[in-house]
């Protein structure tokens, strides 16, 4: 790895050059209104994991189009009374896995809702939520699934799931505050869910090296997956490239960031070929509320690893 993106001084000023679609707000309002109209109460089933310090619940809530989405809910065992809830979204290709894969936030004293990722779970951690065609977990990619129309685009469905996960967390009877969190694709989903939530719904936003930001720039400056999937699609379908680019404008994290007023912690890594630092700065510089950036000058997409986890916990503790 080596430095390949803009100089740091330019990164600190960088903003997304792509205007948001004129109907961006209407598009998402209509999508979410339909999901809420078709929503059913969440189903919560206790799970015996053998973990004495953690109580685990298998959650099924309704996401895009009223379709069922799985999640794990971990919380400190035998703790009565209100708890803050962290809603976490998962990186590209991964599913919810097992409850014991997700112990950081419950160990820190939070309830932790981990949303499964529809159709994913064949890359590095198993998943349990199909995409609407009935397909279960599959190996990536997803970046161009349905990309010729915003209405059919995969990330329209997944982002709607993320917003509904936040709404499910807020409805938990013990929830005192709700935060969103994620790394890479999960960070991009955290930004999207925060941007589409009402002001005051979230106590904080944590997005490590987020994916899906300044997408038009990203697909031209890195040949690393997942963005390479988009370039490959356009290379084979050049007459459809403009249409595909107009679709991804509806899911760009920089556009969602411009609607976020909750306190936010982001991270960027200067040698990150997967989510180039300029794309992260495009989202960070668009944020409208209090914000912090953890910058890793020598890291790639690992983005600080355990160090960022400790920063995330300290950040959340400072908000609650």
Enzyme catalytic residues: 184, 272, 301
- Rounded to whole angstroms, the Cα distance separating 136 from 65 reads 17
- Rounded to whole angstroms, the Cα distance separating 75 from 112 reads 6
Q: Name which of 227, 155, 230 is nearest 196 in CA terms.
A: 155
- Rounded to whole angstroms, the Cα distance separating 65 from 80 reads 34
- Rounded to whole angstroms, the Cα distance separating 79 from 75 reads 8
Q: What angle do CA 184, 23, 171 make, to 5 degrees?
A: 55
Question: What is the token pair recorded at 207?
Answer: 């997005």
Helices (H), the chain: 8-11, 24-37, 104-107, 154-170, 185-196, 215-221, 227-236, 241-248, 253-257, 277-284, 306-319
Do 139 and 225 meet the contact criterion of CB atoms below 8 Å apart? no
């Amino acid at each position: 790895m080596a430095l390949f993106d803009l100089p740091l001084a330019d990164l600190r000023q960088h903003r997304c050059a792509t205007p948001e679609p004129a109907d961006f707000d209407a598009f998402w309002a209509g999508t979410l209104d339909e999901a809420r109209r078709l929503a059913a109460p969440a189903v919560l089933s206790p799970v015996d994991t053998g973990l004495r310090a953690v109580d685990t619940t298998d959650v099924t809530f309704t996401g895009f189009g009223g379709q069922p989405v799985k999640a794990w809910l971990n919380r400190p065992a035998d703790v009565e009374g209100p708890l803050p809830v962290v809603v976490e979204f998962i990186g590209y290709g991964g599913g919810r896995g097992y409850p014991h894969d997700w112990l950081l936030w419950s160990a820190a004293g939070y309830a932790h809702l981990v949303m499964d990722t529809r159709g994913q779970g064949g890359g590095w951690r198993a998943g349990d939520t199909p995409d609407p065609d009935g397909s279960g977990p599959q190996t990536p990619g997803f970046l161009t699934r349905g990309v010729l129309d915003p209405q059919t685009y995969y990330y329209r469905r997944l982002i709607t799931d993320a917003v509904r996960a936040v709404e499910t967390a807020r409805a938990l009877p013990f929830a005192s505050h709700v935060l969103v969190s994620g790394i890479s694709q999960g960070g991009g989903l955290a930004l999207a869910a925060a941007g589409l939530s009402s002001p005051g719904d979230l106590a904080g936003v944590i997005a490590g090296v987020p994916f899906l930001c300044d997408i038009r720039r990203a697909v031209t400056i890195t040949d690393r997956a997942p963005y390479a999937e988009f370039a490959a699609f356009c290379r084979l379908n050049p007459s459809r490239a403009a249409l595909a680019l107009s679709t991804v404008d509806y899911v760009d994290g920089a556009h969602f960031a411009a609607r976020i007023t909750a306190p936010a912690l982001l991270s960027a890594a200067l040698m990150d070929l997967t989510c180039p630092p300029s794309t992260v700065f495009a989202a960070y510089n668009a944020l409208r509320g209090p914000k912090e950036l953890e910058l890793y000058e020598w890291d790639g997409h690992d983005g600080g690893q355990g160090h960022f986890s400790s920063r995330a916990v300290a950040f959340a503790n400072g908000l609650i």
